[in-house]
């Protein structure tokens, strides 16, 4: 007797029951065998469905983990290595490679691979569009399946010819309608892919395309942000030069104090983004003088009390100008606070000691040193010894004594370096 094993019209196999005697089996035996066959078919189908469910859950977990890798890292190498390892395991293949497309050179370059015997050769892959199997995938923008690579004319020039691969699958990586690269799958045995197998391969390709697109978008955003920041800072530097052109007594002053203020801030333990804000605040430290009339700003002699009242308003002018601009708000500490004094007798708020922002305290030391060390229209430059003596004398009164001490160390180090040169 031969009984088919089928479920819902799908043939799974058959059972044969044999005897050396003729006429052994009757209708009752046939019905009993049919019952056994039905139970066996159900058991086989249940096992198949269980394995399929487990595989689908495992693949969903893999895809979730790949999603996490893509969202948590902009390092393509890390994401691709993770994706390739799972692709080899879940697709049951021998090797996987991901090539990234360079639109400027019109080439595919290997970015990640696993399973190749000749790792050095694999990592040097560099393929033009239309050439080799990967180049054909990118050109056609659709799946390329080669069941037998040994009989494929495209494989004659392939860099993987010596790897003894039997089957090949190449899937284009497409993001937002543009080719991003190619996902290649190799096996040393023939593959008869199921629809589930192909769907998972396509999903992996989609994940790889998303990873490439995210990284490229992030890099473009970084580049745009750098260009925008550079444009902003160049504009600020231009404002600083414009102020110097108006205030002829301080030409070159801004460049000098920016350099010294940043270095002094580093020595005071300030780093990162705060240094950037200090640099911008230093560039714009006298921006409020735009509101001071020329006859007061460029007066060669001493100012009257009424003129000093107007001059002392320039920190408030700076605040009124910069505060509405969110980009410049963190840099306001210097333009608004560098005329405050350690003993509380400064302006505009009369802050005392550490109430004064540290950026303003740092800049005040550098600003006074530069103002005294270089000539102004109403007086000659002071000798360096006299300037240093003034800084020491005003430490604890006008200036933060700890910052004055650090600044004197900075000047001493610069003298030593200049002598060494």
Which tens digits make up the pLDDT trace of 71-94?
A: 666 678 888 888 888 888 888 899
- Map out the domains of the chain as residue ranges: 2-52, 74-220, 247-420
Give the three-class secondary structure for 219: helix
Position 416 pLDDT exceeds 50: yes
The string of pLDDT tens digits covering residues 147-202 is 888 776 655 544 555 677 888 999 999 988 889 999 999 998 888 888 888 988 99
Q: Look at residue 402 in the predicted model and tell me its pLDDT.
A: 95
Position 211 pLDDT exceeds 80: yes
Chain centroid offset of residue 117 CA: 33
How many angstroms separate the CA atoms of 242 and 261, rounded? 20
Fold of 74-220: Beta-Lactamase (3.30.450)
Q: Look at residue 79 in the predicted model and tell me its pLDDT.
A: 83
Mean pLDDT of 252-258: 81
Q: What is the pTM of this model?
A: 0.53
Q: Look at residue 53 in the predicted model and tell me its pLDDT.
A: 67
Q: Look at residue 352 in the predicted model and tell me its pLDDT.
A: 95
Among 402, 399, 406, residue whose Cα is nearest residue 343: 399
332 sits in the region (left: phi over 0; alpha: psi -120 to 50; else beta) called alpha
Q: Taking a C-beta distance cutoff of 8 angstroms, is the pair 421, 413 a contact?
A: no
**Mean pLDDT over all residues of the chain?**
83
Q: Look at residue 400 in the predicted model and tell me its pLDDT.
A: 95
**From 165-169, 234-238, 239-243, the region with the lowest mean pLDDT:** 239-243
How many angstroms separate the CA atoms of 322 and 326, rounded? 8
pLDDT tier at 125 (50, 70, 90 boundaries)?
A: low
Burial tier of 290 (Cβ tally within 10 Å: 0-12, 13-18, 19+) = middle
pLDDT tier at 418 (50, 70, 90 boundaries)?
A: low
Check residue 22 and report its DSSP letter: T
Q: Look at residue 123 in the predicted model and tell me its pLDDT.
A: 47
CATH of 247-420, one of 3.30.300.30, 1.10.10.10, 3.40.50.1820, 1.10.3210.10: 1.10.3210.10
Q: Look at residue 242 in the predicted model and tell me its pLDDT.
A: 67
pLDDT tier at 396 (50, 70, 90 boundaries)?
A: very high
Mean pLDDT of 309-331: 90
**From 143-152, 271-280, 301-310, 372-381, the region with the lowest mean pLDDT:** 372-381
How many angstroms separate the CA atoms of 125 and 170, rounded? 15
**Cβ neighbour number for residue 271 with a 10 Å cutoff:** 9
The string of pLDDT tens digits covering residues 330-389 is 999 999 999 999 999 999 999 999 999 999 999 999 999 988 887 665 567 889 899 999
């Amino acid at each position: 007797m031969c009984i088919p094993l089928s479920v819902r019209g799908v043939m799974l196999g058959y059972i044969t029951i044999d005897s050396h005697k003729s006429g052994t089996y009757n209708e009752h035996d046939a019905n009993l065998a049919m019952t056994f066959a039905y139970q066996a078919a159900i058991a086989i189908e249940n096992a198949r469905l269980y394995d399929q469910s487990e595989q689908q859950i495992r693949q969903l977990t893999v895809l979730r983990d790949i999603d996490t890798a893509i969202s948590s890292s902009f390092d393509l190498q890390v994401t691709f290595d993770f994706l390739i390892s799972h692709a080899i395991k879940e697709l049951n293949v021998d090797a996987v490679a991901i090539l990234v497309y360079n639109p400027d050179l019109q080439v595919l370059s290997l970015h990640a691979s696993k399973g190749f015997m000749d790792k050095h050769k694999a990592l040097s892959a560099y393929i033009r569009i239309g050439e080799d199997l990967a180049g054909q995938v990118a050109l056609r923008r659709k799946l390329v399946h080669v069941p037998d690579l040994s009989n494929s004319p495209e494989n004659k020039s392939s860099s993987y010819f010596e790897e003894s691969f039997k089957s090949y699958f190449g899937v284009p990586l497409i993001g937002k309608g543009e080719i991003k690269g190619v996902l290649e799958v190799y096996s040393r045995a023939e593959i008869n892919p199921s629809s589930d197998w192909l769907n998972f391969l396509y999903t992996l390709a989609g994940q790889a395309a998303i990873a490439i697109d995210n990284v490229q978008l992030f890099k473009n955003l970084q580049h745009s942000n750098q260009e925008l920041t550079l444009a902003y800072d160049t504009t600020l530097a231009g404002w600083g030069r414009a102020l110097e052109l108006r205030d002829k007594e301080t030409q070159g002053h801004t460049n000098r104090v920016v350099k010294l203020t940043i270095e002094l801030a580093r020595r005071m333990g300030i780093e990162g983004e705060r240094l950037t804000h200090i640099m911008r605040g230093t560039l714009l430290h006298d921006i409020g003088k735009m509101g001071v009339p020329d006859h007061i700003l460029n007066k060669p002699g001493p100012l009257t009390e009424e003129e000093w009242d107007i001059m002392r308003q320039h920190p408030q002018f700076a605040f009124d100008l910069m505060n509405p601009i969110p980009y410049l708000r963190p840099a306001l500490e210097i333009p608004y606070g560098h005329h405050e004094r350690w003993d509380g007798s400064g302006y505009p708020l009369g802050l005392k000691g550490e109430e004064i922002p540290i950026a303003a305290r740092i800049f005040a030391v550098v600003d006074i040193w530069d103002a005294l060390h270089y000539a102004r229209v109403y007086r000659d430059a002071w000798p360096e010894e006299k300037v240093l003596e003034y800084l020491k004398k005003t430490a604890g009164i006008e200036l933060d004594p700890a910052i004055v001490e650090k600044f004197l160390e900075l000047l001493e180090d610069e003298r030593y370096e200049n002598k060494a040169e």
